Amino acid sequence: MKAYKALTKEELVQLKGELEKAYADVKGKGLKLDMSRGKPAATQLDMTMDIMDVFDSSSELKTEGGMDCRNYGQVDGIPEAKKLMGDMIGVPAENVIVCGNASLTIMYDTISRSMTHGVLGSTPWCKLDKVKFLCPVPGYDRHFGITEHFGIEMINIPMTSDGPDMDMVEKYVSEDPAVKGIWCVPKYSNPQGVTYSDETVKRFAALKPAAEDFRIFWDNAYAVHHLYEEEQDSLLEILSECKKAGNPDMVYEFCSTSKVSFAGSGIAAVASSEKNLEWFRKSMTIQTIGYDKINQLRHVKYFKNAQGVAAHMKKHADLLRPKFEAVLNVLEEELGGLEIGSWIKPRGGYFVCFEAMEGCAAQIIEKCKEAGVILTKAGAPYPYGKDPKDSVIRIAPSFPTPEEMAQATDLFVLCVKLVSVQKLLEACA
């Protein structure tokens, strides 16, 4: 196909008319599809329904050590759940605290605790003139929402195929003591699906922060979320790398089973050094009597071990893969060679990241909405909701059926073409 930029003004005007007619036809179909968030589909949730059969009223709700999970105790999680979550991300159980149902809550609490009480004896952030956070972009909007909520200044760090631009990260971290942290989704990143290279992880571990209370917020949300059995990304384990580099306290790693068992009813954990975990426990004993140990035990009995989790996630992949491939196939067939957009084929995670021509993302998303397909708001993958190029669009294939996904992607590429032609015609004026 001929690149749109190579078309004459007359050819663009003719193409615009054809695309507008096609768009009017699609609007008449009355589509109603939501691809705005990475929600598991009902078919995925149905696969896990038998977790509800693990216990009944006659079950003995005790750990292997004899602890009664119905009662108070073990505020930082039962030993079996620590091992299960640790094995999922490749860290020892003694480096894990298991909390409630959402890793986002742990991240929020960690930022809040740093603001009000400081980090391991450092000055509370709320008493400082300026607190800054590095934000690899495009990234996860809920991360940015937390730091914005606390009035923390966010700094964009461009993503590369190996992870964040580490030259920029090293410069900011080593030169500015106001830089207190960085958000990371290191495996199958949200939304690009990039996995940090070994070199990137080692450079993170070897950082020399100007601030003693600088921390890496390592949200390993998609650690086990592969799409392909033979083509799986691997991620170097950062806790051990930080320890080897002489920075054992520099990282908090977060994970959960939110997209493994039930979204909102799984278990979440944080892994870190013993010093950091003791800091967590100190406030946890004030904050809670304890999290839901019955749910922790339920997950352990159901999955048994990391191999059980991997087998379960293979079933998830079998459901998700056709949806991702439906999106990618339509993008390639309809937009390949037109030079009006680019995308990455992810090997895992929950999103496809599309980069449109500069200045087009918001209009594409609005056009899709008018025709019945809801996408993530333009700018969402950036701090403050401001995409400086207005080009990145996050596509979430998980919730619709493969057939609905193909329909939605057909509309999406039509909107990409229409808005791109309009943009090119404006440049001709």
The rounded radius of gyration (Å) of the Cα atoms in the chain is: 23
Domains, the chain, with CATH or none? 4-44+310-428 (3.90.1150.10), 61-304 (3.40.640.10)
Look at residues 307, 208, 223, 209 and name the one whose alpha carbon lies nearest to residue 271. Answer: 223
Cα 171 to Cα 239, 246, 388: the distances in Å are 22, 19, 22
CA 405 centroid distance within chain: 20
H-helix or E-strand spanning residue 374: strand 373-375
pTM above 0.85, yes or no: yes
Rounded to the nearest 10 degrees, the angle between the axes of helix 103-117 and helix 274-287 is 90
Q: Report the SS3 class of residue 173.
A: helix
- Using pLDDT thresholds of 50, 70 and 90, give the confidence band for residue 33: confident
Q: Provide the pLDDT for residue 428.
A: 83
Task: Count other Cβ atoms within 10 Å, centred on residue 96.
Answer: 26
Pairing of strands 352-356, 341-343: antiparallel
Cα 382 to Cα 59, 138, 344: the distances in Å are 47, 6, 18
Half-sphere exposure of 180 (CA within 13 A, CB side): 22
Helices (H), 119-175: 141-149, 166-175
Alpha carbon distance 258, 48 (integer Å): 12
> 232-254: per-residue pLDDT in tens?
999 999 999 999 999 999 999 99
Residue with tokens 């170097």: 236
357 or 28: which carries more pLDDT confidence? 357
Q: What percent of the chain has pLDDT over 90?
A: 93
> 344-402: per-residue pLDDT in tens?
999 999 999 999 999 999 999 999 999 999 999 999 999 999 999 999 999 999 998 88
Q: Provide the pLDDT for residue 37.
A: 80
Cα 366 to Cα 156, 233, 355, 372, 411: the distances in Å are 25, 34, 16, 10, 12
Look at residues 377, 362, 418, 404 and name the one whose alpha carbon lies nearest to residue 32. Answer: 404
Burial (CB count <10 Å: 0-12, 13-18, 19+), residue 60 = exposed
> 165-219: per-residue pLDDT in tens?
999 999 999 999 999 999 999 999 999 999 999 999 999 999 999 999 999 999 9
